[in-house]
Amino acid sequence: MEGLEEWNTTHYSGKEGSNELLFPKLEELRIEQCGKLRIKPCLPGESAKYLCMRGCDTMLSSWGERSSHCSTSSSSPLTELEVAESKVPMHQWRLLHHLPALRKLTITDCSDLTTSPEIIHSLSSLRALCFVLLSQAGLPRGLVELTSLQELTLYRCATISVVPEWLGELTSLKRFVIGRCQGIRSLPDSIQATKLEYLQIDDECPTLVKWCKSEKNKMKLAHIKKVVFNLGERSDD
């Protein structure tokens, strides 16, 4: 529905004399390839917890404009958001400023992950962050400020060759998953400073798996309770 420009999520209730949400019990919502879409006055569903937006740049970047959204958007109950195929720079993702309950963010195949202090601050409640098909050479530097982040996942990020040293500054990080990222050949020395409890690296990262299994580097991972290299091979040291 590439031509869809507006979705009014309320209707007038003659009985109550006020506007009511069209889908008050909606819990999950997926919107795909609606690049011009604006939703007003607010997201449908008072209890919606999950939103997936694929190719919906106008909605992502214009959220909160007085002309298109109501003030209730600032108290959205959403806890999980997936953004895919966005061409808008991440620092313009205004929707993030209105999701105070957000706990998990998945970013898939988005071309510009330039952040800003304001955007990073809006993610202060985030507990899990997942990057899929990342097209830039490294992770956004601003992520180091996400001190409440507990889980980080990199999947099919072929352009990434280095895990940054500032990984050790993510003081709450407990779970780190790397899948199908063949360019990553080693982990930073700062991994010894993390409080990781779980590390998973699949066997499609052969060079990285070999690095982890070397006697020299096993010591760097010794503090991690569980290290998983593939579904059939585990190390609980």
- According to the model, what pLDDT value does residue 67 have? 42
- According to the model, what pLDDT value does residue 24 have? 67
Residue segments in the chain with a per-residue pLDDT below the cut of 50: 67-74, 232-234, 237
- According to the model, what pLDDT value does residue 176 have? 98
- According to the model, what pLDDT value does residue 63 have? 82
- According to the model, what pLDDT value does residue 144 have? 95
* Summary mean pLDDT of the chain: 87
Tokens representing 61? 């970047």
- According to the model, what pLDDT value does residue 237 have? 43
Domain boundaries, the chain: 6-235
56, β-bridge pairs: none
**Would you mind telling me the total number of residues written for the chain in this entry?**
237
pLDDT digits (tens, 9 = 90+) for 135-181: 899 999 999 999 999 999 999 999 999 999 999 999 999 999 999 99
Does domain 6-235 match CATH 3.80.10.10?
Answer: yes
With b for 16 or more beta-carbon neighbours within 10 A and e for fewer, the 26-55 pattern comes to beebebeebbebbbbebbbbeebbebbbbb
77 phi and psi angles, rounded to 5 deg = -80, 5
Radius of gyration of the chain (CA): 20
The sign of the dihedral angle between the CA atoms of 92, 97, 98, 100 is: positive
Using CA atoms in the order 6, 92, 150, 205, what is the torsion angle rounded to 10 degrees? 100
- According to the model, what pLDDT value does residue 124 have? 94
- According to the model, what pLDDT value does residue 171 have? 94
